[in-house]
Amino acid sequence: MDSLGLIREFLQDRLGVEPVRVLSEAPLNSLGVDSLMMLELIFEFEDRFGITLSKNLKSPKTVGEMAALMDRLRSEQG
């Protein structure tokens, strides 16, 4: 599964957000992602891909920023 797919699946399962609303330019907070939900998404990403994220990462503001961060970290680890 790609990063955007993971984000869409997570938001649909946890918040009931329709996947068609999870677009790259969508602000995460407009989809219901608060700081706690962001941590849950990061933990899901770590579990799913076996990657540990730095605790000093800048929190992404949009779906696209989150997906790009995930993709970059996956490529660095792979």
Q: From first to last of its 78 residues, what are the pLDDT tens digits of the chain?
A: 788 999 999 999 999 999 999 999 999 999 999 999 988 988 888 898 888 877 787 889 999 999 998 888 888 876
Fold classified for 3-77 = 1.10.1200
- For residue 35, give both structure tokens: 């700081």
CA distances from 70 to 15, 26, 31 (A): 20, 16, 18
Q: What are phi and psi of 4, to 5 degrees?
A: -65, -40
- Delimit the domains of the chain by residue range: 3-77
pTM for the full predicted model: 0.86
User: Rounded to the nearest 5 degrees, what angle is found at the Cα of 72, between the Cα atoms of 64 and 50?
Assistant: 110
Burial level of 63, CB count in 10 A (0-12/13-18/19+)? buried
